[in-house]
Amino acid sequence: MTREEHLLTVASEECAEVAQRVSKALRFGLEEIQPGQRFTNAERIMHEYADLCAAMEMLEEEGLVATGGDFAAMVSDKKEKVAAFLEYSKRCGTL
């Protein structure tokens, strides 16, 4: 395995861990603390997100990924899209 493959694998695993923790929060609530853990699901989501951010930063530092532009603008654009689809869901009666 190359360094590139290793870092991409780490990023992939972190994506899966964020998704898993979000699923747990949907099933059991954001404030639930899993037996044997000390953090709520909300806190654990953010821990997993921080791990993903670290992995993505490492990929960027290696020159393997780049935003290709203004990252803050990319985030803002996504927020607008999510807001539009939330409104659409309301009109569809699913939210």
Indicate the domain borders of the chain: 3-64, 68-95
b (16+ CB within 10 A) / e for 54-92: ebbebbeeeeeeeeeeeeeeeeeeeeeeeeeeeeeeeee
Q: What is the pLDDT of residue 67?
A: 81
Q: What is the pLDDT of residue 68?
A: 81
Model-level pTM? Answer: 0.89
60-73, pLDDT tens digit by residue?
999 999 988 899 99
Q: What is the mean pLDDT of each run of 10 residues along the chain (95 residues)?
A: 98 98 98 97 98 97 90 95 98 97
